[in-house]
């Protein structure tokens, strides 16, 4: 998937559903974690890439002093529009930008942050080289990526439910993209290709994903991510059927009331 395709699939109703469903389900805990790691470094100027609807942006604002400059970017203008509409506690710069061709001068930032965006970069080495280019000496690139899908229970359950429903052509988005970039050795190699000469620190961090009912993660994954496009390509009524099948699958595994599943990601710190 190229960057133009990424822009298109994070459009329509996806940004709102992504923000209201996916963010509290799986993104908020890791946003707080990465913001705390960033705050410990005391940066003066921060760039966020693949900011999405701003969950990390808002966490960074809360964690950093008010005089720290923050620039938040994303390839998808609809996602940025949603982030700007939610608003922030203080002014920051929102800017549409391609992570593989950042519109900033060299050595401008003390830190570059990216939450669950690196998996979508068509050329990881090129994107990492851009992050390295805009980092000042002594700066750091902090990002996280999802671990393999087997370590993320709701995502695995949704994928299995869809495989049963669409046996002839199962949607593979979750395993192929969000959970397809989990090999620490590959990540380290890509960072080296991007010009990071120091070995990265990679920490695997497990957390919990909780929701009021099985329908919440089913709606979140099926309708609030680009998985929606793969589902809708099957037939006119596919989205409703898929959402119900996934809700039933989650309820069978995790119960009919509140649901609680494991999520797991790698947190990466690369020093410039």
User: To 5 degrees, how large is the angle CA 101–CA 58–CA 99?
Assistant: 10
* CA atoms of 205 and 151, how far apart (whole Å): 11
Q: Answer for the pair 202, 188: CB distance below 8 angstroms, yes or no.
A: yes
Tokens of 46: 């921060």
* CA atoms of 27 and 185, how far apart (whole Å): 24
* CA atoms of 227 and 219, how far apart (whole Å): 11
Q: Tell me, what's the pLDDT at 21?
A: 85
Which of the four pLDDT bands, split at 50, 70 and 90, describes residue 14?
low
Which of the four pLDDT bands, split at 50, 70 and 90, describes residue 4?
very low
Which of the four pLDDT bands, split at 50, 70 and 90, describes residue 2?
very low
pTM (two decimals): 0.93
Least confident window among 2-16, 82-96, 197-211, 227-241: 2-16
- Residue 189: which H helix or E strand, with range? helix 184-193
Checking if the pLDDT of 12 tops 60, the result is no
pLDDT in tens, 83-115: 999 999 999 999 999 999 999 999 999 999 999
Domains of the chain with CATH codes: 3-149+173-208+262-271 (3.40.50.150)
Surface-to-core class of residue 154, CB atoms within 10 Å of its CB (0-12 exposed, 13-18 middle, 19+ buried): buried
Q: Tell me, what's the pLDDT at 19?
A: 84
Q: Tell me, what's the pLDDT at 35?
A: 98
Q: Tell me, what's the pLDDT at 208?
A: 97
Sheet of 93-96: strand order equals 93-96, 69-74, 45-48, 109-115, 135-146, 259-271, 201-211
Q: Tell me, what's the pLDDT at 256?
A: 86
- Residue 83: which H helix or E strand, with range? helix 77-86
Checking if the pLDDT of 121 tops 80, the result is yes
Handedness of CA 71, 147, 63, 139 (dihedral sign): negative
Largest CA distance in the chain: 55
User: To 5 degrees, how large is the angle CA 186–CA 190–CA 192?
Assistant: 115
Q: What does DSSP assign to residue 174?
A: H
Checking if the pLDDT of 11 tops 80, the result is no
What average pLDDT does the chain have?
93
* CA atoms of 52 and 73, how far apart (whole Å): 8
Q: Tell me, what's the pLDDT at 13?
A: 56
Q: Tell me, what's the pLDDT at 62?
A: 97
Q: Tell me, what's the pLDDT at 17?
A: 82
Q: Answer for the pair 37, 142: CB distance below 8 angstroms, yes or no.
A: yes
């Amino acid at each position: 998937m190229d960057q133009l395709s990424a822009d298109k699939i994070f459009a329509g109703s996806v940004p709102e559903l992504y923000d209201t469903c996916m963010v509290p389900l799986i993104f908020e805990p890791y946003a707080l974690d990465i913001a705390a790691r960033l705050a410990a470094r005391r940066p003066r100027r921060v760039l966020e890439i693949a900011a999405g609807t701003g969950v990390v942006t808002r966490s960074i604002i809360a964690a950093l002093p008010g005089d720290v400059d923050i620039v938040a970017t994303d390839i998808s203008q609809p996602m940025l529009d949603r982030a700007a509409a939610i608003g922030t506690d203080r002014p920051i710069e929102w800017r549409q930008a391609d992570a593989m061709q950042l519109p900033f001068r060299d050595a401008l930032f003390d830190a570059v942050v990216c939450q669950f965006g690196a998996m979508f970069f068509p050329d990881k080495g090129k994107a990492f080289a851009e992050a390295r280019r805009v980092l000042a000496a002594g700066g750091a690139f902090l990002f996280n990526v999802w671990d393999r899908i087997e370590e993320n229970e709701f995502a695995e359950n949704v994928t299995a439910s869809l495989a049963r429903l669409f046996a002839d052509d199962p949607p593979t988005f979750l395993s192929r993209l969000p959970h397809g970039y989990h090999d620490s050795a590959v990540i380290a190699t890509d960072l080296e290709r991007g010009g990071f000469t120091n070995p990265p620190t990679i920490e695997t961090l497990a957390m919990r994903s909780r929701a009021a009912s099985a329908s919440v993660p089913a709606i979140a994954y099926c309708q609030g991510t680009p998985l929606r496009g793969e589902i809708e390509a099957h037939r006119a009524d596919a989205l409703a059927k898929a959402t119900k099948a996934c809700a039933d699958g989650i309820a069978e595994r995790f119960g009919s009331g509140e649901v609680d599943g494991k999520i797991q990601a790698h947190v990466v710190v690369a020093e410039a």
